[in-house]
Amino acid sequence: MRLTPAVPERALVLHGDEDVLLVGDLHVGLEVELRQEGLRLPSQTERMRERLARLLDENGCHRLAILGDLKHTITHASGVESAALVRLFEGLDVPVDLVPGNHDADLPELPPHVTKHPATGMRLGDVGISHGHTWPSADVLAASVVVTCHNHPHVSLVDELGHRHKEPCWVRGPFSRAARERFPDLPRGAKFVVMPNFNDLLGGVAFNALEKEEYLGPLLRNGVFDVEKAKIHTVDGIDLGTVASLRRYAATGQGRRRLRAGGRRGR
């Protein structure tokens, strides 16, 4: 099996016997909260559904996996959110696997083609997926690649004038040495991927500007992922280097120069 980002979208394609599209952090209904704060936006559900349908078609995927935070409210879904979720799944005529996130409590009834899995995650062949807000199952942590989201990863850069700039990114890297001692079934050479949020109205966490205890979720806070050695890629495929090497760019004017230079493109 092989994982590739659907550049320039915030989605992964899992190539195997059945190609699967992976997305996370949809936060359907976010615009309702934004309206309450004075920002008038039309419903984004139709646009999100069109993006998903296009990605499924362009990548030949016959299955969709959602890595949590399908809806935005943390507690029960409002009437607006419930209606939006119905519209989201209309026209997506492929099986959908949902691994719930911390925003997915008390979900409304979902269509028959949507299967809700435990919050501890699930396996898709040799790839384990979970939202990232809770410890994944032992089965997920025995996969060769573990994919999470939850943190809305961004990279922070400062330009020559001192203006701070954040943009969404992919984070991928190895598990820590301590993780291998704690989880003996972790395969040699196992990797992790932290996905950017599919909903592009959301902000995020700058991985190169935080300490370990400031990340979200037990895998990051407990050092299971070796974040310092992880590579950061922009959503359009530019390899910016490791988190450790990018820490100085969060506080200097070199960040935008490095981005303009193109980093290294690649998947």
Per residue in 33-55, pLDDT (tens digit) is 666 666 666 678 889 999 999 99
Alpha helices for the chain (secondary structure H): 30-36, 45-58, 79-89, 177-182, 218-221, 243-246, 254-261
Q: Which of 149, 145, 8 is nearest to 70 (CA)?
A: 149
Q: Dihedral sign, CA of 62, 52, 69, 207? A: positive
Q: Which of 77-86, 150-159, 187-196, 225-234 shows the lowest mean pLDDT across its residues?
A: 77-86
Q: Token pair of 208, please? A: 């190169």
pLDDT for residue 250 is more than 70 = no
Number of domains in the chain: 1
What mean pLDDT value characterizes the chain?
87
Can you give the pLDDT at residue 256?
Answer: 45
User: Domain limits at 42?
Assistant: 2-265
Q: Both tokens of residue 125?
A: 């062949």
DSSP letter at 10 equals S
Q: Residue 174: its pLDDT value, please?
A: 97
pLDDT of residue 261: 44
Averaged over 174-190, what is the pLDDT? 90
Full-model pTM:
0.89
Q: pLDDT band for 255, please (50, 70, 90 cuts).
A: very low
Query: What tokens appear for 54 in the block?
Result: 């296009």
Q: Using 50, 70 and 90 to split pLDDT, how confident is the model at 27?
A: very high
Of 238 and 258, which is predicted with more confidence? 238
Where residue 105 falls among pLDDT bands split at 50, 70, 90? confident
Q: Which has the closest alpha carbon to 258: 167, 190, 159?
A: 159
How many angstroms separate the first and last alpha carbons of the chain? 15
Strand order in the sheet with 20-23: 2-5, 12-15, 20-23, 63-66, 96-98, 114-116
